[in-house]
């Protein structure tokens, strides 16, 4: 037990080494060397700006708006991608009709569609949701197909022998069998959609973290720019960590025996 605790502290110390070094270099460059030239804020300016944004409520307002958008958009993308992926994997002939076109669209980055979405949907919430859905759809869709097609043929034979209904096959075979690959798709899709949302907010929004960064840039408030960058990175890391926690919970059988 003591060895595990000791090892945990060592791992935490190793993970904290680089951030601490970066903070030290940042302080040295801005306070000792006077580096930055109005571009890189000092730690004091950064913390003062963070306190101001928190006190006025601006930071939470932009965060909550971005989180609401990502929740709605990613939920819609997953609701479309998972059933369609299962359908394509279960009926290869159907896949021959839709996969070539979807593969073509998959090569186009979401940001390239922003001008089209703005012209078609305006500068409102529909444009941001469209960007999120487009960015998240393909990782979830492709990994759903991969997960279903990789289910061992013996399991399909067992399902037929037990005379599973379509609902039982979906619940007892397809969903558990594809879960590992689907979890990877959800993790990738969420990461893609988060980055795409920030880009969309920079170009076509009047709120959200991306807009906050662009607004601060126009006012030459570089402390707020770096605050926005930091918050985006922290939230993205939190999303990825949450996905890994859920993956470990639902895919517990994939852990080594000594970890169970």
Tell me, what DSSP letter sits at residue 204? S
Query: What confidence tens digit (pLDDT) does each residue in 83-113 have?
Result: 999 999 888 898 889 999 999 999 999 989 9
Segment of 21-30, 124-133, 145-154, 174-183 carrying the highest mean pLDDT = 124-133
Q: Do 102 and 202 have their domain in common? A: yes
Q: Do 27 and 149 have their domain in common? A: no
Q: Residue 226 pLDDT > 90, yes or no?
A: yes
Residue 30's pLDDT is: 75
Q: Residue 1 pLDDT > 60, yes or no?
A: no
Q: Residue 148 pLDDT > 70, yes or no?
A: yes
User: Is 200:114 a contact under the CB 8 Å cutoff?
Assistant: yes
Residue 91's pLDDT is: 86
Closest CA to 49 of 235, 238, 234, 216: 216
Q: Residue 206 pLDDT > 50, yes or no?
A: yes
Euclidean distance between CA atoms 83 and 100, whole angstroms:
18
State both tokens at 26. Answer: 């940042």
Residue 42's pLDDT is: 84
State both tokens at 2. Answer: 């003591």
Euclidean distance between CA atoms 156 and 162, whole angstroms:
10
Residue 251's pLDDT is: 74
Residue 259's pLDDT is: 42
Q: Do 62 and 15 have their domain in common? A: no
Q: Do 14 and 143 have their domain in common? A: no
Full-model pTM: 0.83
Q: Do 167 and 189 have their domain in common? A: yes
User: Is 256:248 a contact under the CB 8 Å cutoff?
Assistant: no
Quote the mean pLDDT of the chain.
Answer: 86
Q: What is the mean pLDDT of residues 144-169?
A: 84
Tell me, what DSSP letter sits at residue 42? -
Residue 260's pLDDT is: 37
Q: How many folded domains does the chain comprise?
A: 2
Q: What is the percent of the chain with per-residue pLDDT over 70, rounded to a whole number?
A: 91
Helix (H) or strand (E) holding 200: helix 175-203
Residue 3 sits in which domain range? 1-35
User: Is 230:181 a contact under the CB 8 Å cutoff?
Assistant: no
Choice between 188 and 23, residue whose per-residue pLDDT is larger:
188
Choice between 162 and 53, residue whose per-residue pLDDT is larger:
53
Q: What is the mean pLDDT of residues 109-125?
A: 88
Closest CA to 156 of 169, 175, 143, 165: 169
| Distances in whole angstroms, Cα of residue 76 to Cα of each of 132, 195, 204 | 9, 17, 20
Residue 258's pLDDT is: 41
Residue 252's pLDDT is: 67
Q: Do 48 and 16 have their domain in common? A: no
Euclidean distance between CA atoms 89 and 95, whole angstroms:
7
Q: Do 82 and 2 have their domain in common? A: no
Q: Do 59 and 80 have their domain in common? A: yes
DSSP code string of 113-181: GHHHHHHHH-SSHHHHHHHHHHHHHHHHHHHHHHHHHTS-HHHHHHHHHTT--HHHHIIIIIHHHHHHH
Instruction: Name the residue with tokens 């307002």.
Output: 61
Q: Do 193 and 211 have their domain in common? A: yes
In this predicted structure, which of 6-10, 78-82, 111-115, 183-187 has the lowest mean pLDDT?
6-10
Q: Do 55 and 6 have their domain in common? A: no
CATH code of the domain in which 182 resides: 1.10.3720.10
Instruction: Name the residue with tokens 């569609």.
Output: 113
| Distances in whole angstroms, Cα of residue 45 to Cα of each of 27, 30, 232 | 11, 10, 19
Residue 6's pLDDT is: 55
Residue 257's pLDDT is: 43
Q: Residue 210 pLDDT > 90, yes or no?
A: yes
Phi-psi map region of 122: left, alpha, beta (phi>0 left; psi -120 to 50 alpha): left
Q: Do 11 and 102 have their domain in common? A: no
Q: Do 31 and 43 have their domain in common? A: no
Residue 8's pLDDT is: 65
């Amino acid at each position: 037990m003591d060895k595990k605790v000791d090892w945990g502290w060592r791992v935490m110390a190793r993970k904290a080494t680089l951030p601490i070094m970066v903070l030290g270099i940042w302080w040295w460059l801005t306070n000792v060397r006077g580096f930055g030239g109005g571009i890189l804020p000092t730690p004091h300016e950064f913390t003062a700006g963070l306190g101001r944004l928190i006190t006025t409520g601006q930071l939470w307002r932009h965060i909550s708006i971005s989180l609401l958008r990502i929740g709605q958009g990613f939920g819609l993308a997953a609701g479309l991608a998972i059933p369609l992926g299962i359908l394509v994997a279960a009926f290869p002939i159907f896949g021959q009709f839709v996969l070539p076109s979807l593969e073509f669209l998959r090569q186009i980055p979401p940001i390239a569609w922003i001008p089209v979405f703005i012209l078609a949907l305006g500068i409102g919430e529909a444009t941001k949701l469209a960007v999120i859905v487009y960015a998240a759809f393909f990782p979830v869709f492709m990994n759903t197909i991969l997960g279903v097609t990789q289910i061992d043929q013996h399991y399909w034979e067992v399902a037929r022998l037990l005379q599973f209904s379509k609902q039982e096959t979906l619940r007892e075979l397809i969903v558990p069998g594809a879960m590992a690959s689907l979890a990877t798709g959800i993790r990738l899709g969420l990461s893609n959609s988060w980055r795409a949302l920030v880009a969309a907010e920079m170009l076509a929004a009047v709120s959200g973290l991306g807009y906050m960064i662009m607004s601060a840039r126009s006012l030459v408030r570089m402390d707020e720019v770096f605050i926005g960058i930091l918050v985006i990175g922290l939230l993205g890391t939190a999303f990825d960590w949450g996905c890994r926690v859920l993956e470990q919970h639902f895919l517990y059988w994939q852990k080594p025996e000594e970890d169970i």
